[in-house]
Amino acid sequence: MITKILILIATFFNIGRVSKAPGTVATVATIPLWWLLAQTGPLIYMTSVILLVALGIAAAQVYEAQSTTHDSQEIVIDEVVGFLITMTWLPITWQSLVFGFVIFRFLDIVKPPPIRQLDQKVGGGLGVMIDDIAAGLIGSLILQTVYTQTSWLGVQISNLTTN
């Protein structure tokens, strides 16, 4: 029973089983989760992401034990977590969403150093997750710089409804 639940989590409720671009599809499917978590404030958001990191490592480990492939394309909980990390502390705007999505997917697909090295050298469930965690952290740093130095990420959506 627990194994089946962890496999569902690893595939983000079978989204990872889509035939084309499962990582991108999973990132898109994470948008409602990001929006909901962003409504809760930074403490709950970050606590949830930390719990998802631990759960993702466990789920990826179980999936790998059931499979013969390291970091199977079907495992997409890493994309879910990486995108949520990228979006940490950003305003809830369509600009943040677009920039965050593009930057995270770019970093996840291209895997520039040190992301590539982490992907190649770390095994198991942690190895599945670590490159996306790194992509999320780098994406977040980029977006925090953009957010604090420009107005490119727009006005918070909740501010529009209260004015």
Res 155: pLDDT: 63
Instruction: State how far the Cα of 64 lies from the Cα of 59, in Å rounded to an integer.
Output: 9
| 136 and 104 Cβ atoms separated by less than 8 Å | yes
Instruction: State how far the Cα of 49 lies from the Cα of 107, in Å rounded to an integer.
Output: 19
Instruction: Give the number of other Cβ atoms within 10 Å of residue 17's Cβ.
Output: 13
Distance set, CA 85 to CA 34, 104, 160 (Å): 10, 9, 25
**Per-domain residue ranges for the chain?**
2-162
Res 156: pLDDT: 54
pLDDT in tens, the chain (163 residues): 999 999 999 999 999 999 999 999 999 999 999 999 999 999 999 999 999 999 999 999 999 999 878 889 999 999 999 999 999 999 999 999 999 999 999 999 999 999 999 988 999 999 999 999 999 999 999 999 999 888 888 865 444 455 4
Res 151: pLDDT: 87
Instruction: Give the number of other Cβ atoms within 10 Å of residue 116's Cβ.
Output: 13
Instruction: State how far the Cα of 89 lies from the Cα of 109, in Å rounded to an integer.
Output: 23
Instruction: State how far the Cα of 27 lies from the Cα of 40, in Å rounded to an integer.
Output: 20
Res 86: pLDDT: 98
Estimate to the nearest angstrom the gap between the alpha carbon of 141 and the chain centroid. Answer: 14
Res 163: pLDDT: 47
Res 9: pLDDT: 97
Instruction: State how far the Cα of 30 lies from the Cα of 160, in Å rounded to an integer.
Output: 24
The H or E element containing residue 93 is none
